[in-house]
Amino acid sequence: MPVQIHAWVDGRLVDPDEPSVPALDHAVTVGDAAFETLKVEDGRAFARSRHLRRLERTLAGLGLPPPDPARVDEGCAAVLAAGAPLEFGRLRYTVTGGAGPLGSDRGSSPLRYIVTAGPQLRPPATATIATVPWVRNERSATAGLKTTSYAENVVALAYAKERGAIEAIFGNTRDELCEGTGTNIVLVRDGRLVTPPLTSGCLAGVTRELALEWARESGLEVREEAVPMSSAHEADEVFITSSTKDVLPVARWDEVTYAAPGPVTARVAEVFAKLAGERLDP
């Protein structure tokens, strides 16, 4: 049975296969758009305010106007109400630069809003990850922005999957640990959490942010500091975070194996699950 995806574009529910975005939308021609992916459990989207704030930061970084929160909420409500409540899935909203020319110049069209939602499998118990030979540019104009220009992530993830991994890990141009294609990475060293700072070029992940906040609240030491790639594998435990993976222990990274979950990762995952269950919009 095909997966049921519900879609909403600029004020109306549409069939996901129905032509609904013009060929000259700037997201189609040059990837000029921002997006957010939210976890959905029991029909409810998690951490909506934090995701909206990050969308605002991305649009500002792209030089686009701020989004209309009411428009985003309208689309989210429409797709979540369109079918049976999602037991577990993802909600994605995209805000594009609207109609534009064939090149990188922008027109003066209003923003376009696209929202989709559908079920997905829950994450595995542990992850295998692989380092890729390409790097993030921490000085890029779009560093740290969640844009739809994802081609390098597609290539990197395919590379990782060819090697039996579920996620690809990038360094940056300074040969420091950065991030995954859709995840942040955290090392456990001597009981402390160590993760690349935002200046590494990594995305300010919502789950990363919450996991670090809640780990600190639970009494764990958290350090956001540069990690040379030459020593990145040196950890007692490793985990990755994302909106649909939460806190996911890493059992293998390249040729190195780890306790999965180790005691610290298990504690972070337990705290995250508890507080996320209590706070729908933390």
Q: Provide the phi-psi class of 175: left if phi over 0, else alpha when psi is between -120 and 50, else beta.
A: left
Query: What is the chain's mean pLDDT, rounded?
Result: 97
pLDDT score recorded for residue 108: 85
Q: Please classify residue 252 by burial: count the beta carbons closer than 10 Å to its beta carbon, then call 0-12 exposed, 13-18 middle and 19+ buried.
A: middle
Q: Encode pLDDT of 101-119 as tens digits.
A: 999 999 889 999 999 999 9
Task: Give the model confidence (pLDDT) of 182-193 as tens digits.
Answer: 999 999 999 999
Q: Are 255 and 182 in contact (CB under 8 A)?
A: no
Above pLDDT 90, what percent of the chain? Answer: 96
What pLDDT score was predicted for residue 177?
98
Report if pTM > 0.85: yes
How far apart CA 160 and CA 142 sit, in angstroms, is: 23
Q: What is the pLDDT of residues 218-241, one digit of tens each?
A: 999 999 999 999 999 999 999 999
Stretch 86-100: mean pLDDT: 96
If residue 172 lies in a helix (H) or strand (E), which one and from where to where?
Answer: strand 167-172
d(CA 231, CA 194): 12
**If we measure between CA atoms, which residue out of 233, 113, 115 comes closest to residue 171?**
233
The pLDDT value recorded for residue 1 is: 44
Cα 77 → chain centroid: 21
Q: What are 31-50's pLDDT values in tens digits?
A: 999 999 999 999 999 999 99
Beta carbons of 99 and 109 less than 8 angstroms apart:
yes
pLDDT value at residue 2 = 58
Q: What domains can be seen in the chain, in order of their start residue?
A: 6-119 (3.30.470.10), 127-278 (3.20.10.10)
The pLDDT assigned to 235 comes to 98
